[in-house]
Structure 1
Amino acid sequence: MRVIASIGEALAAARGRIPASEARLLLGALLGCSTAQIAAYPERVLTPALAARFADLLERRAAGEPVAYLLGTREFFGRDFRVTPAVLIPRPETELIVELVLARVAKNDGTPRILDLGTGSGVLAVTLALELPGARLTAVDRSAEALGIARFNADALGAQVDFIESDWFAALDGEGFDFIVSNPPYIAADDPHLADGDVRFEPTGALASGPAGLDDLARIAAGAPAFLMRGGWLMMEHGYDQAALVRALLAGAGFDAVASARDLAGIERVSYGCWRAS
């Protein structure tokens, strides 16, 4: 293995194995500086300990381990959240749910009761709590380890969220919510993409949901009416080709104003409906 004694040598060792942008990101995290500084000072000397840590990160990234897990953080809605292999890596398209909620809250008193189902790292619940200081947030997940990460993020960012260990609605007491939001598992259990890229390292239970990827989406659509106030909204993220199917689930459960919203790539990514709008 090439000897690493400086930033420039570290970048050279990474060349051809991982993208240069990722190498600069990993080095910046180790050194506590920006990627621009990494690029500007290739002569900066690395201690043997730092060089060894970079070599380890390089090997792990070259083997496919996600950068977010290597760094332990991922940005969402302008904030950094802690992530580990116990939770999904937050993705930009999930921010669409936040935007949809904010657009609707602006039309009422700004103090909604919001339930986040399958909170994972807590990005939706924590973000909504911070964007809507008057809101009451409840977040559930069946994974105690995931809830630990979500609680850490809430504490670190100063968000007030009630966390409950629950398999979807099972541990809830019937409180009525103005919004129920969820980014549930929605990939088919035998989808070959589960063996590709970053998802190989993510928790399968948070990704796959039955033979068509619809099992959890169907459970949420069927169960949500018992926990929604009249005029409350259910919003669920889903796969790129599932919008029509999810709209059918919502309509079949009795929701009004059923529709889908497109992400920045133009894909119908979130479907939603209003419970007894009139």
Structure 2
Amino acid sequence: MQHGLGGCQLDIATALFHATRWLRQAGSVSARLDAEALLAHVLTCDRLHLYRFPGQPLDAARQARYEDLVRRRAAGEPVAYLTGRREFYGREFLVTPAVLIPRPETELLVELAARRWTEYAREGAIFAETLSGRPAKEMAGGEKQPEAAGLIADTGTGSGAIAVTLAALLPGVRVLATDISVAALEVARQNAVRHGVVDRVEFYRGDLLTALPERYTGRLALICANLPYVPEGERAQLPPDVLHYEPHLALFGGPDGLDLYRRLLVQAPRYLMPGGRMLLEIAPGQPAILERELSPGWRLCGVHPDLAGRERVVELARAGG
């Protein structure tokens, strides 16, 4: 079957028509959306522009570039890697093949983390005072807010989507982002700069929490983790664009997918304050495994479902609070 956009000069509407058909025949379940995203990227415009000016002609260079991107997408390469961008929690993040593409499901973890920190502040900023050694700042209505003292850790930060989003949502908080990949940390740092929070996100390379300096021992109020949790035996069940393009280091977590979380549960008590929380993104069925293996130092606070009703985030508290 012959594919392509055709040799003659095309306008926006015609290019979209041919690209959508090409991608649909290649098996894309979001062919039209993919075609629009790629053309908007080539034209450096938003998708609305494509419908406001459907008759706008494409010059030869842009048409050739668009055809190349559509061909790569038809072969399975993710749109986010082709454009170098992915939206997460209302913000656009840079992504490269060195990092996992942020998923909408992970926004639940961010929502819960922001909610928990706000609760800490409303409870008299006990956590902030403990961490900073100074009183919290009084706000209108008698509420208190941490005075740039909050410490949240994002382990396995990848693109930095969680760490950067939390720093943007919580102006008084510092986030400590760790990852074992130098390339991933560079992407995360660029995203922190991009969203104006680089002064409140610190980056450390190493194994989970052990990457953190000694001075942070016992000072974390909240730990967030979206670590690799796909079981090795489920490789064949992953979509081709995930299996063949996204970094396996960020996908697979051992026989049952929980190897890294077991290590994190051992490391965390050293860094987490008594009563501090830990939020872990997981797959359905994994919370029951974790619960059976929890040591007496942990308390299961809940398992939060995503919008599809699937188990998605496990919430734990360190004993003593």
Whether the aligned pair in 1 keeps the contact of 2:154 and 2:225 (CA below 8 Å) is yes
Aligned residue type for 1:144? V
- More divergent stretch after superposition (120-129 vs 185-194): 185-194
Task: Check if 1:73 corresponds to 2:85.
Answer: yes
Contact 1:7 1:46 in 2 (8 A): yes
- Offset, 1:277: 4.0
TM-score (norm 2): 0.82
* Segment of structure 1 superposing worse, 91-100 or 117-126: 91-100
Match of 2:263 in 1: 219
The aligned counterpart of 1:185 is 228
CA displacement at 1:41 relative to structure 2:
2.6
Query: TM-score when scaled to structure 1?
Result: 0.94
Amino acid at match of 1:50: R
Match of 2:74 among 62, 72, 83: 62
Q: Deviation digits for residues 148-185 of structure 1, max 9, x if unmatched?
A: 00000001111120000111123323412000110000
Quick check: 1:222–1:253 contact (8 Å CA) kept in 2?
no
TM superposition shift of 1:245: 1.4
- Asked if 2 retains the 8 angstrom alpha-carbon contact of 1:247 and 1:258, the reply is no
Tell me if structure 2 keeps the 8 A contact 1:194–1:200: no
Which range moved further: 90-99 or 195-204?
195-204
Q: How far off its partner does 1:195 sit?
A: 5.8
Q: 2:207 and 2:22 mapped to 1: Cα distance?
A: 41
Structure 1 gap segments, 5+ residues each = none
Q: Is the 8 A contact 2:159 2:191 kept in 1?
A: yes
Question: In structure 2, what is the equivalent of residue 118 of structure 1?
Answer: 156
Map Cα deviations across residues 76-97 of structure 1 (whole Å, 9 max, x no partner).
1111000010000000111111
- The residue that corresponds to 2:318 in the other structure is 275
| Residue 246 of structure 1, CA deviation | 2.5
Q: 2-side partners of 1:229 and 1:199: how far apart?
A: 38
- Render the CA deviation track for 1:119-173: whole Å, top value 9, x for unaligned: 0000111111111111111000000000000000001111120000111123323
Q: Distance in 1 between matches of 2:300 and 2:33?
A: 44
Q: Counterpart of 2:55 in structure 1: which amino acid?
A: E
Q: Please report how far the alpha carbon of residue 261 of structure 1 lies from its aligned counterpart in structure 2 after TM superposition.
A: 0.6
Which residue number corresponds to residue 246 of structure 1? 290
- Cross-structure match for 1:90: 102
Quote the RMSD (CA, aligned, Å).
1.6
What is the CA-CA distance between 1:15 and the residue it aligns to? Answer: 3.1
Which digits, 9 at most, give the CA deviation of each residue in 1:200-235, with x for residues without a partner?
210001000111111011111121111100111111
Structure 2 residue matching 1:119: 3-state secondary structure: coil
> When the two structures are aligned, how many residues end up with a matched partner?
277
Mean CA deviation greater in 81-90 or 198-207: 198-207
Question: 1:13 aligns to what?
Answer: 18
Match of 1:133 in 2: 171
Instruction: For 1:205, give the aligned amino acid.
Output: L
State how far apart, in whole Å, the 2-side matches of 1:246 and 1:17 are: 44
Equivalent in the alignment of 1:163: 203
Maintained 8 Å contact 1:235/1:272:
yes
Moved over 6 A (4+): none
* Secondary structure class of the residue paired with 2:208: coil
CA distance in 2, matches of 1:173, 1:122: 19
1:199, 1:73 → 2: CA distance? 19
- Cα pair 1:125 1:137 within 8 Å, conserved: yes
Matched-pair contact (CA < 8 Å) for 1:140–1:165: yes
Q: Which has the higher Rg, Structure 1 or Structure 2? A: 2
- For residues 198 and 185 of structure 1, the distance between their equivalents in structure 2, rounded to whole angstroms, comes to 13
